[in-house]
């Protein structure tokens, strides 16, 4: 996300109005990629011709299906494509960069009108993005950013400000700890190593908690954004906390799926999540709101996956030759435990 600190051209768009349009018909779950050949399976969502416009063909290379957030993001993109009359070619890279690169190359070969993708990690994209540019195919980034010197390699980046999400998580904890003098040991479940959300959520959180010397990250490890790995890593944290006689007071999970895995580990260890150990999470999937209602998660920082309508509008604009802001930031909130019951019925993912 380093590049965006420089461009500065951030357009705050109210995502809620445009994004609620995304909810509607059912999108099919993408076929899982073929990990052996590395050729991620492609699914085509055919669409009816809309009011005489030339039908746009979009190639979308998705990260994978690693979390509830990702599933909602995929659904939003597929529903919005149908709604917008966009012919969608979709691939699931199973969280492997080489599969995303293969999918982008296949879209270039098929001469699609526009390519969009959520880069699984920040680096290693220059070559394939240059191939798309040389082929005259515009690229729109959604959800996660790339770290490239030449920002002309993509038209726009639509997604959250992950550093700000980390700051929001840190601010909640600093406020929670303001009246205690006791040290609070924090364990961090990081997202996918090298991914923009993992790098930036860590940066934002650390930037804020350094205000309070009692708040210390004592262990930090990737759980790759999945429940399974989140549980495994938390089990290891709990075991070493016992052997080192160093209590864990807070879990900061970079997404809800890892937080929910950590909750299982904490309960199996005989402790009460949300009470013996505070849980801070990011995303805002329904299961996290249920866990908050049950007192097991203390706060969730929202990260909105419903990017489909904004993406389709951006694709139409870029194919029509309109210029796009380099950075489109999605709006999102913070939900402490006490708001969960009231907010739960409003959750769309």
Measured from the CB atom, is 246 or 331 closer to ligand GZL? 331
Q: By CB under 6 A, is residue 66 in contact with ligand GZL?
A: yes
Instruction: Note whether 78 and 308 are within 8 A (CB).
Output: yes
Q: Which of 143, 147, 161, 332 binds ligand GZL (CB under 6 A)?
A: 143
C-alpha–C-alpha distance, residues 204 and 171, integer Å: 10
For residue 96, report the phi and psi dihedrals to the nearest 5 degrees: -115, 125
Q: What is the DSSP letter of 54?
A: P
Take residue 228 and report the two structure tokens written for it: 């399974």
Quote the least distance from Cβ 250 to ligand GZL, whole Å. 19
Q: Which of 3, 45, 67, 94 binds ligand GZL (CB under 6 A)?
A: 67
Per-residue contact flags (x/-) with ligand GZL for residues 20 to 59, judged by CB under 6 A: ----------------------------------------
Measured from the CB atom, is 107 or 117 closer to ligand GZL? 117
Q: By CB under 6 A, is residue 255 in contact with ligand GZL?
A: yes
Count the residues of the shown chain that bind ligand GZL, applying the rule CB under 6 A.
14
Quote the least distance from Cβ 66 to ligand GZL, whole Å. 5
Instruction: Note whether 258 and 193 are within 8 A (CB).
Output: no
Q: What is the DSSP letter of 277?
A: B
Q: Is 313 strand, coil or helix?
A: helix
Q: Is 94 strand, coil or helix?
A: coil
Q: By CB under 6 A, is residue 202 in contact with ligand GZL?
A: no
Q: Which of 1, 27, 59, 70 binds ligand GZL (CB under 6 A)?
A: 70
For residue 45, report the phi and psi dihedrals to the nearest 5 degrees: -105, 105
Measured from the CB atom, is 197 or 274 closer to ligand GZL? 197
C-alpha–C-alpha distance, residues 305 and 203, integer Å: 21
Q: Which stretch binds ligand GZL (CB under 6 A): 16-24, 28-36, 63-71, 181-189?
A: 63-71
For residue 43, report the phi and psi dihedrals to the nearest 5 degrees: -125, 140
C-alpha–C-alpha distance, residues 326 and 308, integer Å: 17
Q: Which stretch binds ligand GZL (CB under 6 A): 62-70, 128-136, 150-158, 244-252?
A: 62-70
| Alpha helices per DSSP H over 110-161 | 126-134
Per-residue contact flags (x/-) with ligand GZL for residues 283 to 312, judged by CB under 6 A: x-------------------x---------
Radius of gyration of the chain (CA): 20
Residues making contact with ligand GZL (CB under 6 A): 66-67, 69-70, 143-144, 160, 197, 225, 255, 257, 282-283, 303
């Amino acid at each position: 996300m380093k590049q965006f600190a420089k461009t500065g051209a951030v357009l705050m768009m109210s995502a809620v109005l445009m994004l609620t349009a995304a909810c509607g018909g059912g999108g099919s779950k993408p076929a899982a990629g073929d990990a052996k050949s590395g050729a991620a399976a492609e699914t085509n969502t055919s669409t009816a011709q809309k009011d005489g416009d030339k039908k746009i063909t979009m190639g979308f290379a998705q990260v994978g299906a690693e979390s509830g957030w990702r599933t909602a993001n995929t659904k939003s993109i597929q529903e919005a494509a149908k709604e917008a009359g966009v012919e969608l070619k979709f691939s699931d890279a199973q969280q492997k960069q080489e599969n995303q690169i293969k999918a982008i190359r296949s879209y270039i070969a098929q001469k699609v009108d526009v390519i969009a993708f959520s880069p699984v990690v920040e680096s290693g994209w220059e070559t394939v993005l240059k191939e798309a540019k040389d082929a005259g195919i515009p690229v729109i980034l959604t959800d996660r950013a790339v770290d490239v010197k030449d920002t002309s390699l993509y038209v726009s980046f639509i997604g959250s400000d992950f550093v700000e999400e980390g700051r929001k998580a840190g601010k909640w904890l600093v406020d929670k700890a303001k009246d205690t003098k006791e040290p609070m040991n924090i364990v961090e479940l990081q997202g996918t190593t090298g991914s923009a959300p993992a790098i930036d959520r860590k940066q934002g959180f650390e930037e804020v908690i350094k205000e309070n010397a009692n708040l210390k990250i004592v262990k930090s490890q990737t759980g790759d954004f999945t429940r399974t790995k989140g549980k495994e890593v938390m089990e290891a944290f709990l075991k070493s906390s016992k052997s080192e006689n160093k209590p864990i007071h807070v879990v900061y999970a970079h997404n809800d799926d890892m937080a929910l895995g950590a909750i299982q580990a904490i309960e199996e260890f005989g402790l009460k999540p949300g009470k013996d150990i505070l849980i801070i999470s990011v995303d805002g999937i329904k299961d996290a709101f249920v866990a908050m209602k049950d007192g097991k998660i203390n706060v969730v920082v929202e990260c909105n996956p419903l990017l489909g309508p904004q993406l389709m509008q951006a694709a139409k604009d870029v194919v029509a030759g309109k210029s796009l802001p380099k950075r489109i930031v999605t709006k999102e909130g913070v939900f402490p435990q006490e708001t969960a019951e009231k907010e739960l019925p409003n959750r769309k993912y």
